[in-house]
A and B are shown apart, each in its own frame.
Chain A
């Protein structure tokens, strides 16, 4: 392919993006010292609540989906073309 490679095709740049992302993640948590988050509920006053809660529930949903897939996953030809 003789097209010019896109800057996103460079693994070096992807690594940079990753590092930038991690820095932003850390900053959003540290910003809590600057911007107090008035809690609606007690559980929110645990430090970095939204961060760890967001990560934990997403991980839990992925695991749950994988477990469900063990039972309910079928090849995508399952219903066939003419068979319903």
Chain B
């Protein structure tokens, strides 16, 4: 039976390679159908190792199923389908195929039973995502893609070093639970965290994602960071450091998003913020917390894609991306506004939306573990989500001042994609049981108690009050906020230029000095051994006899002395 199981990731990746040759209706059908076929194949994958092979004396397992793998692979396939629907009108012939290779690679990571396969798909994700970014065709996208690629190749090298170290130490390539107890495991952890958008390299995410096309950012938001959450759940659950890394990310995302003017960069910072909650959950490491992290990754992919779809629609229809140039769009884009607002409510974990049933499990795990500081910080960050994404995004894009723009709603395929995801945001919020049934551990949690709903409403509504009371401080300006990408966009190039100048000068000085010495040497040789020089002259026989005599005398003296 195991021979007949088709690898879902390979199906999607190979299918993606055929896509560029299709046109018209077959292309549209393939774009939406291919991920759904992948989803169907995925649910044929049984638990345990399915594909195994020998490679370099090791047993590799390119296909292996379990609950955690299936949960992440399911949402990745669903994302490829709805993202493909959203991107049907995309002119670029490269973007959707690249996005499907990217999605397929992400699915490949989740179904990998060994670290070699994880690494191979990990790198393929980098290729796919870079091509998605690149396919936008703009100069800014090309440059952002180069920086993005540089960081991810660096992360890949670190990960590979860790994997080889791990294999050398343990003799096994199986992807299993690890602890940061050796250099190799630290390197693996760092490699995973680079893709999660963790400090100090987190700036790659808000730098790159907003430079993709109106549909490209939707794909980019889903896979890389959530695959990182998946490998952390499988590889490093209960690593305490991750709690603090996650909390840092949650607050970093809020503070930077508050200062940001580009609507899609606000949402990019908020990805870091949301992944922070998940990583904190992985760090807490109890069954409740890991369920929370996994469920939150699932719901997050949906509402973040929905938010970026509404932002992408605005970008496509207005050509503008800065909050300071937008506003009042509810007049002519009511559906986009409603869908964007539903996404905003879901990201804020409002009751009856998907965020409410997933994120609260992480907080509950902190409370169950009596981690007061962690619980307080998670509550503060939850309030901050409403502030920076829940209200700020819809307010500045669709309301605030009237910009006078009256763009039409986006084309039907884009509207449908938004409606499907808006429906899922609410459906999962109202009826969380199907999601809970997919989680890696049995769920013993009831999100809808009166006390929980009331506490959450108090927290969120009063953070909303803080937003409107302090609105003058949040007025958008034509500014950016420096981030760690400054290091590789400014400091390192400046250092390289400076050191190049320095080395150039040093080289010049050296070669001048060497030339001087060399010329002296050459002159001396010419003087001594040139045509008419002393050593080239014909010496008279008598002086030869004299010198032989002197040498012999010297020899006699030394011999008898």
Which residues in A have some Cβ–Cβ distance to B below 8 Å? 1, 3, 6, 8-9, 21, 24-25, 28-29, 31-32, 35-38, 40-41, 43, 48, 50-55, 57-59, 61-66, 68-69, 72-76, 78-79, 81-82, 84
B461 x A64 contact (CB < 8 A): no
Give the contacting residue for A32; candidates B140, B379, B454, B479; CB below 8 A. Answer: B454
Residues of A within 8 A of B147 (CB): 84
B387 x A28 contact (CB < 8 A): no
Among residues of A, the one whose C-beta sits closest to the C-beta of B324 is A76
Residues of A within 8 A of B402 (CB): 9
Residues of A within 8 A of B474 (CB): 62
A13 to chain B, nearest CB (A): 13
Complex CA gap A79/B469 in Å reads: 33
A74 x B255 contact (CB < 8 A): no
Complex CA gap A3/B261 in Å reads: 29
Cβ < 8 Å to A, chain B residues 401-422? 402, 404, 406
Among residues of A, the one whose C-beta sits closest to the C-beta of B464 is A21
B330 at the interface (CB under 8 A from A): yes
Which residues in B have some Cβ–Cβ distance to A below 8 Å? 139-140, 143, 147, 251, 254-256, 258-259, 261-262, 322, 330-331, 367, 372, 375-376, 379-380, 383-384, 387, 399, 402, 404, 406, 450-451, 454-467, 469-470, 473-474, 477-483, 489-490, 493
Residues of A within 8 A of B493 (CB): 84
User: Could you show 24 A-B contacts with beta carbons less than 8 Å apart?
Assistant: A1-B404, A21-B461, A24-B461, A25-B461, A25-B465, A28-B457, A37-B451, A41-B367, A41-B372, A41-B375, A43-B372, A50-B379, A50-B462, A54-B462, A54-B463, A57-B384, A58-B383, A58-B466, A61-B254, A62-B473, A66-B473, A76-B262, A79-B480, A79-B490
Give the contacting residue for A54; candidates B404, B460, B470, B490; CB below 8 A. Answer: B460
Give the contacting residue for A62; candidates B258, B261, B462, B490; CB below 8 A. Answer: B258
Residues of A within 8 A of B261 (CB): 76
Complex CA gap A13/B372 in Å reads: 42
B50 to chain A, nearest CB (A): 42
Residues of B within 8 A of A35 (CB): 450-451, 454
Most buried by B among A31, A38, A59, A62: A62
Residues of B within 8 A of A9 (CB): 402
Complex CA gap A62/B380 in Å reads: 12
A15 to chain B, nearest CB (A): 13
B459 x A54 contact (CB < 8 A): yes
Complex CA gap A75/B479 in Å reads: 4
A65 x B255 contact (CB < 8 A): yes
Give the contacting residue for B367; candidates A40, A62, A78, A84; CB below 8 A. Answer: A40
B466 x A55 contact (CB < 8 A): yes
B459 x A73 contact (CB < 8 A): no
With A6-B330, A6-B331, A61-B254 given, is the CB distance from A50 to B367 under 8 Å?
A: no
Most buried by A among B458, B482, B483: B458
Complex CA gap A83/B460 in Å reads: 42
Among residues of A, the one whose C-beta sits closest to the C-beta of B257 is A65
